[in-house]
């Protein structure tokens, strides 16, 4: 039972990461550009 719960949680995390990447790609790219600009100053 413990293994089942572990794999279920792992699957949810993986799906969540892919969903977030798909939906928040523009925001992530914008944040990366802002961080790079701040580092260059």
Q: Which residue ranges make up each domain of the chain? A: 2-40
30 SS3 class: helix
User: What pLDDT does residue 20 have?
Assistant: 85
pLDDT of residue 29: 87
pLDDT of residue 21: 81
Question: Alpha-carbon Rg of the chain, whole angstroms?
Answer: 16
C-beta separation of 21 from 28 below 8 A: yes
13 to 20, 27, 28, 33: CA distances (angstroms) = 10, 20, 18, 26
Predicted structure pTM score: 0.52
Read off the pLDDT of residues 1-41 as tens digits, 9 standing for 90 and up: 889 999 999 999 999 999 988 888 888 889 899 999 988 77
């Amino acid at each position: 039972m413990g293994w089942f719960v572990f794999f279920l949680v792992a699957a949810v995390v993986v799906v969540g990461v892919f969903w977030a990447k798909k939906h928040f790609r523009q925001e992530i790219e914008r944040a990366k550009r802002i961080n790079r600009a701040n580092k260059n100053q």
